[in-house]
Amino acid sequence: MENFTPISALIGGGLIGLASGLYFLLNGRIAGISGILGGLLSPGKERSSVLFERLAFIIGLVAGPLIMINATGIKAQSVVTSSLPVIIIAGLLVGFGTTIGSGCTSGHGICGLSRLSLRSLVATLSFMAAGFVTVYVTRHMTGGV
């Protein structure tokens, strides 16, 4: 609990909810990152405005924190301790999971739950359970990765 920050967490959660709600209202589409990135990497016969919208969304995900760091001077304190092969395997597993789960945590957990989607509830519970099991196994049964 040394990094307990309820105010910033509440503000961040509110901004995520506001952004995903506005994205849905203005574009009629769910703000699921896997769908947006997947559509950008393998575009179909979509209008160029949809491709531009997806690209702008992804650029915003990267630029937002950089702008915040420059504006406030506060730097993120994330430390990655896993090896590159583990990170690559994890990324591939996440990509595979979002394909068979018809979406990712942002699409199901934020957008789907707010629409009271039963499928998103089951998906989100599955994501969380898999995360709990993974952390337990890697931290307590294998001595850490």
31-80 per-position pLDDT tens digit: 888 888 888 887 777 777 788 888 988 999 889 888 988 998 887 777 88
Coil, helix or strand for 97?
Answer: helix
- Burial class (CB within 10 angstroms; exposed 0-12, middle 13-18, buried 19+) of 40: middle
DSSP code string of 104-125:
-HIIIIIIIHHTT-HHHHHHHH
Q: In this predicted structure, what is the pLDDT of residue 143? A: 62
Distance, in Å, from the CA atom of 17 to the CA atom of 30, rounded to the nearest integer, reads 12
Q: In this predicted structure, what is the pLDDT of residue 85? A: 92
